[in-house]
Amino acid sequence: MTAILELKNVTKRYGGDTALDGLSVTLEANEYISLLGPSGSGKSTLLRVIAGFEKPDAGEVLLEGRSLAQVPAYRRGIGFVSQGFALFPHLSVFENVAFGLRNREDDPLQDAAELRRRVDEMLALVGLSDLGERGIDQISGGQKQRVALARTLVADPKIILLDEPLGALDANLRARMRVELRRIRQQLGITFMHVTGNEEEALAMGDRVAVLDSGRLAQISDPDSVYNRPQSARVAKFLNCYNMFEGRRDEGGAFHAGVSSFACSPGAAAAGVYCVRFDKIRVVPLQGLSEDGGTGVRATFITSEYAGPRITYFFRGADGKVLEVEYHLSHRRPDEFAVGGDYWLSWSPDEALVYFQ
């Protein structure tokens, strides 16, 4: 793999707020990278620093090994698709895409035939060949997204930065655009960096997923590793699919969290966080349960949420904490539990992840 963009110890502060805190990361050529993180973790700031809309207070940004410190945004060869698309409402689809080429700072494109060829090529790539003459107010949200992308791609950038590109679309369209974005990127062979606050989208889209936490990189790996082996309890938390218990392991290999105790790998006594994924839990009726119900917790059923191929059950543990259990329904009908009834939530200790401080 070849590095295309490198950030070295980049720090960006706004007054007393540190938005990026000594961040180092390398983007490879020809990859789709998702950037996931909670609100305020610095995702948009990172994009703006890379694009050249913000200057870092410290550190360096290198494109193909060359520092971008003195290179203005419009000369970086980095495309930016912003959240609201920022299209010109009074121009047609064609003119929106042509605008940048016709008005660029260096060597504006005046040759009408060449302009048409380039714009038509991009409209075809994003599936809008028939809509070039439409006004921006005569196309759908998904089509606006495609125009925004075509307008950025026509400038032939080396990297495209997308800030929550699917946030404004409805769920159906969002799913379709995920596939489209990946196809377009593969066809062009350039690097896309896609910011999202949605863990499912990050895992679905990225060849790699970078997780940002308080302006620092908490993890960067392939989606499967992020999902199955989050590097820290904080990353597990952002994934929104783990039940988490704060507590302490004793020398005997038991983890104590409030009134509950779980089996855990043996080792020195230490404070930590015990995490069990929603889909790794089985719900067992208390009646008929043998003395040793295995590792788990007793909990009261509250409600369920049906989502077609899967169902999420919500329980309340003895300490009042809400616990989630997810069943996949491809081969079974949903189980029914009695609201207010007590159950045993059971899992294999091997499936738990424990992070010590």
Ligand X SMILES: Nc1ncnc2c1ncn2[C@@H]1O[C@H](COP(=O)(O)OP(=O)(O)OP(=O)(O)O)[C@@H](O)[C@H]1O
> What are the tokens at 99?
């605008």
Among 37, 52, 247, 296, interactor with ligand X by CB under 6 A: 37
266 is a contact residue toward ligand X (CB under 6 A): no
The smaller minimum CB distance to ligand X, of residues 35 and 264, is found at 35
Nearest to 271 by CA among 253, 254, 256, 249: 249
CB of 21 to ligand X, least distance (A): 10
> What are the tokens at 350?
């091997």
CA-to-CA distance for 262 and 280, rounded, in angstroms?
Answer: 15
Distances (CA, A) of 335 to 289, 301, 328: 18, 12, 11
Q: Cβ neighbours of residue 67 under 8 Å, at least 6 residues apart?
A: 60, 61
Among 9, 24, 40, 328, interactor with ligand X by CB under 6 A: 40
CB of 40 to ligand X, least distance (A): 4
Which 194-213 positions form the footprint of ligand X (CB under 6 A)?
197
Name the CA radius of gyration of the chain, rounded: 25
17 is a contact residue toward ligand X (CB under 6 A): yes
**Contact criterion met (CB below 8 Å) for 182 and 190:** no
Under rule CB under 6 A, how many of the chain's residues touch ligand X?
Answer: 12
39 is a contact residue toward ligand X (CB under 6 A): yes
CB of 164 to ligand X, least distance (A): 7
In terms of DSSP bridges, do strands 58-63 and 260-263 run parallel, antiparallel, or are they unpaired? unpaired
| Beta-bridge partners for 322 | 316
CA-to-CA distance for 82 and 39, rounded, in angstroms?
Answer: 16
The pattern of x and - marking residues 95 through 134 that bind ligand X according to CB under 6 A reads ----------------------------------------
Among 34, 36, 41, 49, interactor with ligand X by CB under 6 A: 41
Which 168-197 positions form the footprint of ligand X (CB under 6 A)?
197
CB of 16 to ligand X, least distance (A): 9
Nearest to 20 by CA among 152, 252, 216: 216
Among 34, 45, 260, 304, interactor with ligand X by CB under 6 A: 45
34 is a contact residue toward ligand X (CB under 6 A): no
- Name residue 65's amino acid: G
19 is a contact residue toward ligand X (CB under 6 A): yes
CB of 42 to ligand X, least distance (A): 4
Contact set with ligand X (CB under 6 A): 14, 17, 19, 37, 39-45, 197
